[in-house]
Amino acid sequence: MLFGKDPRKKVILERAMKQVERMLRELQDEGKDLTRFKLKKFQKTHFSNCTCAQCLEAKRKKDPHLRGILEDGVKFYVGEGGGDE
């Protein structure tokens, strides 16, 4: 398994997989074309015009990686129609 012997992490992963599976079923029921389905991981940082202390320091050092992460997530991209486009 992905997380080895940590049962808490295993439960969290199983819950997330169930939610993703349910969402994919809903998309398929709506007629979405899942043959062009893509998953993309993202990390959202502060906006480029943010003026908090952390962002000002990142701008001063010219290192955008210092802006800090606000959230982690996954984006789903799904095609529409029957795939004959």
Cα separation, 16 vs 50, in Å, equals: 32
Average pLDDT, the chain: 81
* DSSP calls for 44-73: EE--TT--SHHHHHHHHHT-GGGG-EEEEE
Q: Report yes or no: 53 and 62 within 8 Å, Cβ to Cβ.
A: no
Record the pTM.
Answer: 0.53
**Domain residue ranges of the chain, discontinuous segments joined by +:** 1-30, 33-85
Q: Which amino acid is at 46?
A: H
State pLDDT tens for residues 37-66.
Answer: 888 887 777 777 888 898 899 889 988 888
- Closest residue by Cα to residue 32 from 75, 71, 83: 83
Q: What is the pLDDT of residue 84?
A: 44
Q: How many CB atoms lie within 10 A of CB 58?
A: 19
